[in-house]
């Protein structure tokens, strides 16, 4: 009985540590506005973590599409751990997930485009469409 209780407590503690660590990494997301984005875009990897269908409807110029569901399987595509990476999606929720995955993989120069694609569109910024 004591062993089962100890295992249960260890499992609960492990889960709590995972939750706390993911919350801490989500809090470390550096939000950048459109002006800051313009100044770092040329030297950064711009990643749209929306679905391919959403990406095809228009995206930030120069962005690559790596859907959040495939980030873990495509870590090598992100390059060196200190690469400047700008993430965006539609509302920010998928960016939090992608950020946690990348942060846990050792990436430390991660940025979140303020307002995501909706804010980009609302600001009247240029949209790029994939070639048909």
- Would you name the residues annotated as active-site residues? 89
| The total number of residues written for the chain in this structure | 132
Element (H, E) at 110: strand 110-113
What is the torsional sign of CA 8, 9, 10, 11? positive
Starting at the edge strand found earlier in the chain, the sheet holding 110-113 runs: 30-32, 110-113, 85-88, 45-48, 64-65
């Amino acid at each position: 009985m004591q062993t089962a209780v100890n295992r249960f407590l260890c499992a609960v503690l492990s889960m709590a540590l995972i939750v706390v660590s993911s919350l801490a990494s989500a809090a470390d997301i550096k939000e950048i506005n459109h002006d800051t984005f313009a100044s770092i875009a040329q030297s950064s990897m711009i990643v749209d973590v929306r679905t391919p269908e959403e990406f095809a409807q228009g995206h930030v110029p120069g962005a690559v599409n790596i859907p959040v569901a495939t980030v873990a399987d495509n870590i090598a595509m992100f390059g060196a751990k200190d690469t400047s990476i700008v993430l965006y999606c539609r509302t920010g929720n998928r960016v939090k997930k992608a950020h946690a995955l990348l942060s846990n993989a050792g990436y430390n120069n991660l940025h979140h485009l303020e307002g995501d694609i909706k804010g980009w569109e609302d600001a009247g910024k240029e949209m790029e469409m994939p070639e048909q």
